A and B are shown apart, each in its own frame.
Chain A
């Protein structure tokens, strides 16, 4: 059974940092690309970052470029999102999403972890 479990979300002060983790089970982790997608309060889904299965490519939304870094540990089936310089605009539920073939869509989603930026 495929499972993506995010963790690390918390309340953080503006300007602060937080690292989200996502552990994957039930599929061939090292063959999958990973994304983080967030949903802010009263907002729609916003794509945040992408990391290719072999780490050969990574991309970030303009809103987080230079502040967020995506990494992965294939030996532990984990993906990490390092978030720095947080602002209230980053307050959201962050989803870890696994993709094998983009033409098949974003099939595997975690349950999300909440980051709240507040003083």
Chain B
């Protein structure tokens, strides 16, 4: 079965750039999405089709996907960005999630 691997945790100082990676075999050939989940809340889609931001998601969220690695970048990280982040790709009809990364600001 297909697997996505994320670092368990990432720390960043306020105002700095946070980078969260997601690795999978030939991940660059699949569309990757990213979800943000804060405690007690449902996941929120922050990136779809590798690089696109849904309406309402701040411009400081960006992403890329190439080779075996997708990357979520948060520029000028704010305290409100502290959350768990999950990458996700499709393996046929199955949604495969990474293990999640806790971002500490």
Contacts and interface: CB of A to CB of B under 8 A. Distances in A.
Interface string B67-105: 000000000000000001010101011111111100000
B61 interface: no
Contacts of A37: 43, 95, 97
Interface of B: 1, 31, 33, 35, 37, 42-45, 47-49, 54, 84, 86, 88, 90, 92-100
- Leading 6 A-B pairs by shortest Cβ distance: A105-B48, A105-B33, A44-B100, A109-B42, A47-B95, A45-B97
Contacts of A62: 1
Interface of A: 35, 37, 44-47, 50, 52, 57, 59, 61-62, 95, 102-107, 109-112
Contacts of B47: 105
Given A50-B93, A50-B94, A62-B1, A106 B88 contact: yes
Contacts of B49: 103-105
B86 A106 contact: no
B86 A57 contact: no
Given A44-B86, A45-B35, A62-B1, A106 B95 contact: yes
28 contacts: A35-B95, A37-B43, A44-B97, A44-B99, A45-B86, A45-B88, A45-B97, A45-B100, A46-B97, A47-B97, A50-B94, A59-B93, A61-B94, A62-B1, A95-B43, A102-B31, A102-B90, A103-B49, A104-B48, A105-B33, A105-B35, A105-B47, A106-B45, A106-B95, A107-B45, A109-B42, A109-B44, A111-B42
| Residue from A37, A61, A111 with most neighbouring chain B CB atoms (10 Å) | A37
Contacts of B92: 59
B86 to A, nearest CB: 5
Contact of B98 (A44, A50, A102, A109): A44
A45 B48 CA distance: 17
Contacts of A103: 31, 48-49
A50 B95 CA distance: 9
